[in-house]
């Protein structure tokens, strides 16, 4: 009987050590099993996005680049053209489709963003909240992601610092942002999804890690746009561009 008790105690200690080891692995890195699934899904999304990118053609509703008599282009007209392309692209997207490629050097992240933030969407990677907008529309772009599971794209979102660059590549243009700050809000605070008619990229993850009582929001402002068909411009530019 004593032998059975000792064996049971040893097994319980071993199981406890395994549990502690597992928690440490997930805390420091991520859940390796769900990561394998997301890595596979990211591979499929990347393939689809590559095809979308190559096949992209600006719709007829988007006016071509207007060149001024001196050979330059009006910044305002170029912004309107990009906004029209963004609105048209948003209308074509369905839930679960790839949106674009998000690059966040501070997080070591280079991931395809999926359209939607349901559970199934976020198992594939970061997801764009479908009620928000697209880069270039001068509105809110809200992207959510996991911190400990499914490749944990936003595992270290709290390490982002003001000035950190974020790049969002879409078929119609590439957008460059800079982190401006962060905020922690209750999980049921839906006001964060309200757009204030100003270009704002928001990255969101649960906070603290392993819990879902709050949301950690990182904000980024647009600083430069490189249209697929047209000259690049900085956000603060007012005059003509070459």
Encode pLDDT of 21-43 as tens digits: 334 444 444 578 899 999 999 99
Range of the domain at 107: 29-241
Name residue, tokens 């900085």: 234
Sign of CA dihedral 91, 95, 113, 131: positive
Distance of alpha carbon 52 from alpha carbon 89, whole angstroms: 11
Q: Do the domain assignments include residue 2?
A: no
pLDDT at residue 88, as a whole number:
96
User: How many domains, the chain?
Assistant: 1
Distances 79 to 52, 60, 63, 136 between C-alpha atoms, Å: 23, 17, 11, 7
14 has a pLDDT exceeding 60: no
Q: Are 124 and 175 in contact (CB under 8 A)?
A: no
Q: Does residue 99 belong to any structural domain of this protein?
A: yes
Q: Which residue has the higher pLDDT, 157 or 20?
A: 157
pLDDT the model gives residue 212: 87
Contact indicator for 228, 56 with CB cutoff of 8 Å: yes
- Kindly state whether residue 17 falls inside one of the protein's structural domains: no
Residue from 176, 98, 82, 66 nearest 136 by CA: 82
pTM of the predicted model as reported, rounded to 2 decimal places: 0.85
Domain with residue 190: its CATH number is 2.40.260.10
Predicted confidence at residue 2, as pLDDT, reads 59
Burial code (b: 16+ CB inside 10 Å, e: under 16) for 100-120 equals: bbbbbebbebebbbbbbbeee
Percent of the chain with pLDDT over 90: 72
Query: Does residue 175 lie in a domain region?
Result: yes
* Percentage of the chain exceeding pLDDT 70: 83
User: Does the residue 101 lie in any domain?
Assistant: yes
Report yes or no on 97 lying in a domain: yes
Neighbouring residues of 100: CB distance < 8 A, sequence distance ≥ 6: 49, 112, 113, 135, 168, 169, 170, 171
Q: What is the pLDDT of residues 75-124, one digit of tens each?
A: 888 999 999 999 999 999 999 999 999 999 999 999 999 999 999 999 99
Residue 18 lies in a domain: no
**What average pLDDT is seen over the chain?**
88
pLDDT tops 60 at residue 73: yes
State residue 7's pLDDT score. 58
Residue at 200 is within a domain: yes
Per-residue pLDDT of 131-162, as tens digits, reads 999 999 999 999 999 999 999 999 999 999 99
Nearest to 151 by CA among 192, 110, 204, 95: 110
- Contact between 22 and 139 (Cβ < 8 Å): no
């Amino acid at each position: 009987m004593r032998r059975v008790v000792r064996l049971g105690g040893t097994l319980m200690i071993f199981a406890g050590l395994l549990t502690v080891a597992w928690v440490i692995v997930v805390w420091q890195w991520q859940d390796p099993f769900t990561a394998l699934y997301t890595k596979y899904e990211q591979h499929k999304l990347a393939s689809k996005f590559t095809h979308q990118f190559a096949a992209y053609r600006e719709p007829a509703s988007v006016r071509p680049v207007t060149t001024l008599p001196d050979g330059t282009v009006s910044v305002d007209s170029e912004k309107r053209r990009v906004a029209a392309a963004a609105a048209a692209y948003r209308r074509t997207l369905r839930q679960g489709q790839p949106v674009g490629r998000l690059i966040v050097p501070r997080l070591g992240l280079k991931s395809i963003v999926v359209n939607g933030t349901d559970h199934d969407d976020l198992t594939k990677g970061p997801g764009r909240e479908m009620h928000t907008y697209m880069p270039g529309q001068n509105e809110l772009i809200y992207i959510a992601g996991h911190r400990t599971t499914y490749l944990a794209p936003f595992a270290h979102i709290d390490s982002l610092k003001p000035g950190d660059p974020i790049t969002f590549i879409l078929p119609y243009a590439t957008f460059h942002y800079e982190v401006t700050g962060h905020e922690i809000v209750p999980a049921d605070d839906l006001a964060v999804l309200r757009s204030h008619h100003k270009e704002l990229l928001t990255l969101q993850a649960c906070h603290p890690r392993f819990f879902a009582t709050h949301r950690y929001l990182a904000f980024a402002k647009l600083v430069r746009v490189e249209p697929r068909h047209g000259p690049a411009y900085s956000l603060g530019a007012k005059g003509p561009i070459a």
